[in-house]
Amino acid sequence: MIHMTAKLSKNVRSNAITYGIVLVFYAVVQILLATGNLSSLMRGLLVPLCMYAILAVSLNLTVGILGELSLGHAGFMCVGAFASAFFSKYMAETGMPAGIRFVAAILIGALMAGIFGILIGIPVLRLKGDYLAIVTLAFGEIIKNVMNVLFIGKDSDGLHFSMNSAVDLHLKEGGTVIVNGPQGITGTPNQSTFTIGIILLLITLFIVLNLIQSRDGRAIMAIRDNRIAAESVGINITKYKLMAFSISAALAGVAGVLYAHNLSTLIAQPKNFGYNMSIMILVYVVLGGIGNIRGSMIAAVILTLLPELLRGLNDYRMLIYAIVLIVMMIVNWNPTCKAFREKYSFRNIKARMKTAKEVR
């Protein structure tokens, strides 16, 4: 029993540190903002920082906790972004208060991405390993591609859909095109702020950390560690896999909402919703530590800031970024480097000194 409470408090402490880091970061940024010490470039990065952190934390749920490699995370973000931007634009004229509309947009973005997570998860989660990875990549690309040919317009008759062109919508007089194929959605209200981003990040952390430390979370991790063993003790594999996958998707959708409401034009491009983006998020997760929620969040922030901090180096910055990435991976994972780090880590040196003292 004593052991149990000790473990519980360890979790609580670890969670408190994670939330604390976010709050301290928020406070520091607020102070820098108030004293005017933040360049406009950095100010522009604040919302993306929250967005990437949410994406990294949510993908870590799939990759680290569920143990399935997903390369289509940007697809769910795309769904969330388009669903919420569509909602915000559709509701813009109804006179709904902006605050309530934004909250509803966030919920709709999360819900739609979550539904897509379930729809895609049902077939995809039957596959394993690299096959699952490639199918998620394929789904991400399909979502991006379809968004580029989708036209939705609104007039007095209601909504019109087309996969060809805006003219094919046959809108009546006074009708507006909301989703304009390759031109995407323009004029989404810019409602994402750093504060909202931080709140959403905290909610994301709360959901993911609580899930991991719950009975459901332990079931999910049991599946990750040994599927057959988990199945034989009566864990419903499909249910828990889908649960983790769809929650992860829904949270990516939230990041998408943040993204959509940070820009006035939302276009599905390879750059923002293609597999490159999914891979970028995966880089955060792996570099921050697979299954380590706090680590992935920090890695997302550092890796987003790194190219900006290297901006002075102009053309060389992405080159240096690539080299840093490779070197970091090798230092982190190479068995020799690992052994070296463990031997000379602060904690181990302390422990060794302690035992040396005891021996004496």
Give the binding site for other proteins (CB under 8 A): 63, 69, 123, 126-128, 130-131, 133-135, 137-139, 141-142, 145-146, 148-149, 163, 182, 227-228, 275-276, 279, 282-283, 286-287, 290, 315-316, 318-319, 321-323, 325-326, 329-330, 332-337
CA distance 99 to 117: 27
Evaluate whether 152 touches 178 at the Cβ level (below 8 Å).
yes
CB of 2 to other proteins, least distance (A): 35
Greatest alpha-carbon pair distance for the chain in Å reads 92
Token readout for 304 is 């987003």
Q: Which residue number, 6 or 228, has a Cβ lying nearer to other proteins?
A: 228
Element (H, E) at 139: helix 129-147
CB of 183 to other proteins, least distance (A): 13
CA distance 256 to 184: 14
Helix (H), strand (E), coil (C) string for 299-325: HHHHHHHHHHHHHHHHHHHHHHHHHHH
CB of 281 to other proteins, least distance (A): 11
Q: Which residue number, 28 or 319, has a Cβ lying nearer to other proteins?
A: 319
CA distance 79 to 96: 23
CB of 136 to other proteins, least distance (A): 10
CB of 325 to other proteins, least distance (A): 4
Q: Which residue number, 131 or 161, has a Cβ lying nearer to other proteins?
A: 131
Q: Which residue number, 5 or 232, has a Cβ lying nearer to other proteins?
A: 232
- Cα-based torsion angle of the residue sequence 66, 134, 261, 52 in order, rounded to the nearest 10 degrees: 50
CA distance 72 to 56: 13
Q: Which residue number, 63 or 198, has a Cβ lying nearer to other proteins?
A: 63
CB of 295 to other proteins, least distance (A): 14
Kindly report the CA angle at 47 between 242 and 66, in degrees rounded to 5? 20
CB of 313 to other proteins, least distance (A): 11
Q: Which residues, in sequence order, are CB contacts of 262 under 8 Å at separation 6+?
A: 47, 48, 51, 190, 192
Q: Which residues, in sequence order, are CB contacts of 166 under 8 Å at separation 6+?
A: 151, 153, 177, 180, 181
Q: Which residue number, 210 or 226, has a Cβ lying nearer to other proteins?
A: 226
Q: Which residue number, 100 or 167, has a Cβ lying nearer to other proteins?
A: 167
Residue environment code for 54-78, b if the CB has 16+ CB neighbours within 10 A, otherwise e? bbbbbbbbbbbbbbbbbbbbbbbbb
Q: Which residue number, 47 or 244, has a Cβ lying nearer to other proteins?
A: 244
Q: Which residues, in sequence order, are CB contacts of 203 under 8 Å at separation 6+?
A: 254
CB of 324 to other proteins, least distance (A): 8
